A and B are shown apart, each in its own frame.
Chain A
């Protein structure tokens, strides 16, 4: 997990499918933005089949993180300047 581990992520959903992760964010996070596969947050690329969502909750980002052996996790980390970058993109 590298950089992500260093951010001490809160694991909201573990070992799910990328579709379950997508639905969790869509249904449970009020503000979410669609991103393309490969979208980079810090040094992490969002993996999956569109649509892929990244949520914002206060000062935190909530996004799917896919590991080859363990499925997709939904993680919550401090967003910092990534939140501004995400909001400046077109569309919700």
Chain B
């Protein structure tokens, strides 16, 4: 969605925060998007959002956050959409949410797959999106490297 200031927006969809790298990678992604002048909106479960809030108490990175169901409601009702959408996936539900976003949103979709079964889950992706997959559970670096390869800001800054 282009705002009044012609600012691009990105939806970051967080699933169950069971795998440690999710919060760290979400903060890293938010940072990178902001550096590109893209406004991130985080949608997630209550626990996933709370982890973000606690990790960024002064809101240096995190700005707007919303409930997962509320975000899907707004998009399906055509009240809102985004230019980019990043879905964090470490289980079957994550694939289901990404598949839903591929259908309901016009955003360019990125599926960020991590956890023990990242590669297996990547094989389940049968809809148009950019797949970013790495077996990362506690150490975010494999996924960070994959994301850096995909996103332009990493190329220009590192």
Contacts and interface: CB of A to CB of B under 8 A. Distances in A.
Nearest to B45: A68
Interface stretch (A23-31, A37-45, A54-62, A81-89): A37-45
Given A49-B96, A67-B93, A71-B91, A38 B72 contact: yes
A38 B104 CA distance: 7
Nearest to B91: A71
A72 B92 CA distance: 8
A67 B69 CA distance: 10
A49 B75 CA distance: 16
Nearest to A64: B96
B104 A69 contact: no
The interface size bin for chain A is: 10 to 19
Given A71-B91, A71-B92, A37 B100 contact: yes
A68 B95 contact: no
Contacts, number: 67
- What is the interface residue range for chain B against chain A? 20 to 34
Chain B contact surface mostly: helix
B81 to A, nearest CB: 12
B115 interface: no
B76 A17 contact: no
A49 B93 CA distance: 10
Contacts of B93: 18, 47, 66-72
Interface string B94-125: 11110110111000000000000000000000
Interface of B: 15-16, 18, 44-45, 48, 68-69, 72-73, 75-76, 91-97, 99-100, 102-104, 126-127
